[in-house]
Each structure stands twice: as structure tokens, then as C-alpha cells.
Structure 1
Amino acid sequence: MMKLSIAAGLALMALTTVSHAAGDIAEGEKAFKKCAACHAVGPDAKNKVGPVLNGIVGRPIASIADFKYSPAMTEFGAGKVWDEANLTGYLADPKGFIPKNKMAFVGLKKEEELKGVIAYLAQYNADGSKK
């Protein structure tokens, strides 16, 4: 009985997390339109002015082989991954977080957009398929 209660509790938590993330993903998809001029996601995504963002959450920084990163990005990214903290800092203030990087975007200033874009990007595997 105890195992059943624990399993039911975990399932409820998972459903709650998924429904909350779905709201964030919808917000993130809207906010990502600000990024889409320079970045792409999805199965047919290709590098543009910025690198493809498929699988970015958890990916080593500056690791897309066929993209030419700035020296600042390469130096900053040595041994680091795009986790929530790094993505939040960078997306909020790209030039402040990594001075001298090439990204011209001024940043996402609204917290719900930051969280939403990260949730939106997190749904993509490295091959562009959705998780």
C-alpha cells in the first residue's frame, strides 16, 4: 500500500510539473520569435547568424562543430554547459554575462519570457525532435 501511495504521489507531481511546463513552453514559443531571426530549432534547423539551439539545455557551451563562435564565447564556455543558470544569465544580458561575445540581442528582460524560452528550448533533442 505504501509503494502505491508513493507511486501515486510521484505521478501527481509529474503531471503537475508537465502542466506547469506547458504554460512556460507556450510563453517561450512566443518569446522565441525574438530569437528566430538568428537561431533555429526543430528537425530541419540550420545555423544562421547564431547556432542551432536544438539540445542546448545541458549541451557544452560553444560546441556546435560547424559554427564559428567568438573567442569570448569559446573562452567562457571551456568546461561549462548550458544549464538553467548559464542560460538565464546569458539570455537576460548577453553582453554583460559574456563580454565581447557576438550576439547583438540586448536580452530578455521579463522573467516569464526567460523561463519560457528555456522551457521551450528544453523540449528539443539534439536532432531537433521533441522529447
Structure 2
Amino acid sequence: MSFKYAALLAATVFAAPAFAEVDIEAGEKAFKKCKSCHMIKNGDDVIYKGGKTGPNLYGLPGRVAGAGEDFKYGQSIVEAGEKGLTWDAETFSAYIADPKGFLVEYLDDSKAKAKMAKQRVKNPEDIFAYLESVVAE
């Protein structure tokens, strides 16, 4: 693990109380940016109608990266999942801030690629909390 992501992980661990104070309603509102590419759908139950260029985000929390159904993931995200990457608030937040950079560091492969572009999201942990709440309903 590089110094950059080790520092990010350390900052995340020490900032754990900040992650504990998430706003699910703000996360649902912020998800509106995500819906251009992603949907939230459980079988035939469409929870949040959205695009199909990104994977369905239902059940994302705790999921192995690159392992969702009915989506053709890029090779690098599949490799990251095979190496043990699972989605939690910290990995989700780091990934959406810089998907390619995250994968380059996680895989220690300068040629790693991401299908997803960088996203400017103020509090990605709120979106993650919203995704967790959808499954809990």
C-alpha cells in the first residue's frame, strides 16, 4: 500500500466519529448526481430509477468490488475484488473521489483503469449510508 493511501486510511480511522455522523436524507438527495449512471433496484422493485451505464447499487455495502450481477465490470475493479476489496464507507468514499487513482494504488498497477470518472461529492459517506438504509428497509 502506498504512502498516499496509507495516510488516507489512517485519516479515515482517526476520523471514524465523523463517519458515524452521517445524514441519510442528505445521502438520498446527493444520490441524484449518481442516478445518471446508477439505479437502485432489488429484483423487480425499483427503489431509485436511474441509468444503466453503471452497476445497480442495491446491496453495495459489503459487496465484493466488481461482483454485482448484470453488469460488465472493468478488469481492474474485478481484480481489486479478487484481491479482497469490499465496499464500506471508507473505500466507497476514496474510490468515488478518484476511481483510477484508487485502483492504481490498490492494485499497485500504474496501468489500472476505471470506467467511472472522478466525482465531486461533498459527503460520500452520506450516500453510502443511504445505500445501507435502502437494504435495511
Identity %: 42
Return 28-37 or 80-89, whichever deviates more: 80-89
SS in 2 for 1:115: helix
Q: Which has the higher strand share?
A: 2
1:43-58 alignment runs, 5 A limit: 43-44=45-46, 48-58=52-62
Counterpart in the other structure of 2:126 = 116
Given that residues 51 and 64 in structure 1 are in contact (C-alpha distance below 8 angstroms), is that contact kept between their aligned partners in structure 2?
yes
Q: Output the CA distance in 1 between the equivalents of 2:98 and 2:69.
A: 25
Counterpart in the other structure of 2:30 = 31
Given that residues 59 and 82 in structure 1 are in contact (C-alpha distance below 8 angstroms), is that contact kept between their aligned partners in structure 2?
yes
Given that residues 37 and 50 in structure 2 are in contact (C-alpha distance below 8 angstroms), is that contact kept between their aligned partners in structure 1?
no
* CA drift at 1:46: 7.8
Counterpart in the other structure of 1:13 = none
Give TM-score, length-normalised by structure 2.
0.66
Counterpart in the other structure of 2:40 = 41
Q: Output the CA distance in 1 between the equivalents of 2:88 and 2:71.
A: 20
Counterpart in the other structure of 2:76 = 72
Larger radius of gyration: 1
Counterpart in the other structure of 1:100 = 113
Q: Output the CA distance in 2 between the equivalents of 1:80 and 1:96.
A: 15
SS in 1 for 2:52: coil
* CA drift at 1:109: 4.4
Question: What do you get for the CA RMSD once the two structures are aligned?
Answer: 2.0
Counterpart in the other structure of 2:4 = none
**What amino acid does structure 2 have at the position aligned with 1:38?**
C
Higher relative CO (Cα under 8 Å, sequence separation at least 6) belongs to: 1
Given that residues 47 and 67 in structure 1 are in contact (C-alpha distance below 8 angstroms), is that contact kept between their aligned partners in structure 2?
no
Counterpart in the other structure of 1:17 = none
Residue deviations 1:20-77 (CA, integer Å, cap 9, x gap): 55xx111111111111000011422687000100010111111123210000111111
